[in-house]
Structure 1
């Protein structure tokens, strides 16, 4: 545990001391377990392999470092720092678009002129972009005018799904970012200018987004994907990458909820379950469960080709649009993993209400989704990561990330017969797990004690 800060010291000194203390604890753990120290060298671990208690030290160190950076820069410096972020993705975008990591061999030192030649790009512009990438630790500069792989670029070269994830960010999401504010009052959309507050609260349609302004289209993002096979493939690959990130793995939801308590032979409906990644992991751990994965027909067709043979008798695949009535009646649990954050409140209410005709008394509805921490529960650095995801949801879908109170309020608004049963915040993760039960009969009145 970190020692409390000395109140007699300036805040900057307190933060510096905390950073030293937390970092020393992290390095001690790594050394004691024969693990390498953090490094920019190719082959460095993509993430420090830390147990939960040491992960907390890492979070505290990063939060203190972030605050110290803001204080030392001062208000003007910090403001200019924010302005600079508007261009930070340019060099990463160049690495993706020109496949620069794949142009280098690990251990090779290449001149920036040679990089431009290999990419068939303008030498001056490419040199400037590549050298900007160096300042973001995306490449290293072993000597003037030359670059080589960093740990990050080597990982991009060797992990195709990570390359797709960066492409999705740079080419699908980033172009929409600068249209978020203009989209708030776009006068061509009904109600946007006349009653912006009402529209924002109820949730604008998913085809009136910053994405729509950026791309000049009137269809939702997912419809845009249907018209571009390569883009759709990249998005699916990027989402599979997300499933491997710490705290987002299917195993996190497996450990946070007592699936065995559903009972032998229980049926779980994985609503919007995509290729069945979670369903396979769930039935591997609980082979007595039966899981029905539901998604749109083209997704289910692809899932059929990819479902492991070992899961064939435990996982069923079913085409279903969750904006229509739920066809599986009397299941024991209906599971929504990273689904509802793609939709505004109005659309989420429609999705949840489509369950009602299928629910039996005591059925569980389990929501596994991002949760914005309450103020003060984490450092501003950690909260910012989730807030950025929230803005991304606004830009792409007119949807949002929610606090736990917003999640519980949303389900209660869908129908008061959904009763909150449990709330779990996954450790070292922005994801929460919220469980409701369906209780169609009112709770029995409690007799007042006789006076």
Structure 2
């Protein structure tokens, strides 16, 4: 795509758009619309791969031609000016104008909105005017504002809306302080300070504990991201489906801060039993609340004094897999190796037991087209800013696992969404083939 002229880019865009139009017509998928009530099939991650691929290619072409047409100065101007768009959206969500319009049937006049929000009409008109430019709301008649498919999506998915608010508040404030955090010394991953702590005075989890409303919002945000954007559960589900045949029928999952895959898998895999082990009773309670009562007899919850607590020897007779989902991303290598070495002891007594680790991966530059890669590069900055931790590359993950036990064989599977790249690493003894 580099070096293409604007007419070449335009021609390719037209070809891709024509392909998508014809595909929708032949398959019965409704063409995209931003009007409220529009069907989401065109944008769904469950759409046919041909349509998803064409849409992704088109977005890359559009980004390229837009940058060429803007030029360097205008590109930078627009790039940084989006800060004001995000500020306006946070007002819209924080004042619950989104819900107010929805309750009134999808549209409301400016007077009602000013009363509901407590924001003066002349200020609110300007805030909503900017949101109209971004198709988040639309002005149907003078002084009447209505929802669009974009704002309606946040009504239909409150967990995703919680993620949007988290991004608009906590991450925006933290990102402003990244430069200051990097200027302080030391500033390495092992002894530096997160930008979140630089801005808020404490680390993120501590701040959320002392601000329970935002803490609850963060938990809902992570649930929403996991449901819609995180391929970790898909990777685990695929591994369990294709797992080696043996008489071991128990899955043990360790972790829980970002939820447990087992709370869903126990309903889907009736031939397996599950055990959740965690050093937090709160995380276990949250997980237990998500389990279908009909599946409760096949899942148990064990509170550990520490996640490093050695597994019971009886695991060798029952456990087919230890699952570690989204746990190691903010652990040091030494901490991760310590836990894995505890579990690897069971593998020596039971070669058909596997350790399954799923976590984020930082891809190498150029592995994905730039308009896709940017999401993964943002993830690198996110972990640095919010926690002063590094998202490991595949090479760094393999180096970590090599320290656990030289007898282990490691197999990797990757899966990516529009916002995150995840790996699944299967650790097993060579004799477990």
TM-score, normalised by the number of residues in structure 1: 0.82
Task: Show the 5 A alignment for 1:368-407.
Answer: 368-407=358-397
Q: 1:275 to 1:171 in 2, by over 3 A?
A: closer
Match of 2:166 in 1: 168
Q: 1:426 to 1:166 in 2, by over 3 A?
A: closer
Q: Could you say which structure has the higher helix fraction?
A: 2
Match of 1:155 in 2: 153
Shift of residue 241, structure 1, vs aligned partner: 0.9
Q: 1:415 to 1:178 in 2, by over 3 A?
A: farther
> Does the CA-based 8 Å contact 2:178-2:195 persist in structure 1?
yes
Shift of residue 298, structure 1, vs aligned partner: 1.0
Give secondary structure in 2 for the equivalent of 1:421: strand
1:16 equivalent in alignment to 2:49? no
1:421 paired residue among 383, 403, 411: 411
Q: Deviations over 1:263-293 (max 9, x none)?
A: 3443222121458652143333332222222
Task: Show the 5 A alignment for 1:205-284.
Answer: 208-217=193-202, 220-246=203-229, 248=231, 250-251=233-234, 253-255=236-238, 258-261=241-244, 263-273=246-256, 277-284=260-267
Match of 1:333 in 2: 321
Match of 1:63 in 2: 60
Task: Show the 5 A alignment for 1:29-428.
Answer: 29-46=23-40, 48-49=43-44, 50-105=47-102, 108-143=106-141, 145-187=143-185, 192=186, 196=187, 199-200=188-189, 203-204=190-191, 208-217=193-202, 220-246=203-229, 248=231, 250-251=233-234, 253-255=236-238, 258-261=241-244, 263-273=246-256, 277-295=260-278, 296-320=280-304, 323-328=307-312, 329-330=315-316, 331-345=319-333, 347-360=335-348, 362=351, 363-426=353-416
Shift of residue 82, structure 1, vs aligned partner: 2.0
Shift of residue 412, structure 1, vs aligned partner: 2.2
Shift of residue 149, structure 1, vs aligned partner: 0.6
C-alpha distance in 1, partners of 2:305/2:386? 20
Shift of residue 406, structure 1, vs aligned partner: 2.9
Q: Deviations over 1:384-440 (max 9, x none)?
A: 112112211112122233332332233224554443223333577743333232449
C-alpha distance in 1, partners of 2:262/2:59? 35
C-alpha distance in 1, partners of 2:417/2:163? 24
Q: 1:252 to 1:29 in 2, by over 3 A?
A: farther
TM-score, normalised by the number of residues in structure 2: 0.86
Shift of residue 310, structure 1, vs aligned partner: 2.3
Give secondary structure in 1 for the equivalent of 2:359: strand
Match of 1:448 in 2: none
| CA RMSD, 1 decimal | 3.1
C-alpha distance in 1, partners of 2:266/2:182? 44
> Does the CA-based 8 Å contact 1:280-1:311 persist in structure 2?
no
Q: 1:157 to 1:429 in 2, by over 3 A?
A: closer
Give secondary structure in 2 for the equivalent of 1:37: coil
Unaligned stretches of 5+ residues in structure 2:
none
Q: 1:69 to 1:307 in 2, by over 3 A?
A: same
Give secondary structure in 2 for the equivalent of 1:372: coil
Give secondary structure in 2 for the equivalent of 1:393: helix
Give secondary structure in 1 for the equivalent of 2:154: helix
